[in-house]
Amino acid sequence: MVDFFELSRMYLYNHNERNFKEHFSLSSNMARIVWETVNERFELANDTRPKHLLWWLHWAKTYQTVGVCANFCKCSNNTWKEWMEYIEECLVDLAVVRT
């Protein structure tokens, strides 16, 4: 079981549940449930990690530019874009998100 609250330590300076919700729009427990649902329903690529869902949640909350989000996620712009497309496809197929 993934602990999204602990995982968020690498992104949040003030690490608490309220700050988690402010950055990712939902609780760490709900993020875990979404991740487990995606993981159960799809055969995810081997290098897919829970942090990629956090990246997508952060983008969905802030709707910032690629550069700003990639910087927050500590990755290149291309890496960030590839993971956003992949995670969004999974979420849309789950009907968790509507486009």
What residues make up the domain containing 9? 4-94
Give the chain's domain count.
1
Sign of the CA dihedral running 32, 38, 40, 46: negative
Sign of the CA dihedral running 13, 15, 19, 24: positive
Q: What is the pLDDT of residues 16-65, one digit of tens each?
A: 899 999 989 999 999 999 999 888 888 787 888 999 999 999 999 999 99
Q: What is the pLDDT of residues 77-93, one digit of tens each?
A: 999 999 999 999 888 87
Does residue 50 lie within any of the structural domains? yes
pLDDT over 90 (residue 12): no
Does residue 99 lie within any of the structural domains? no
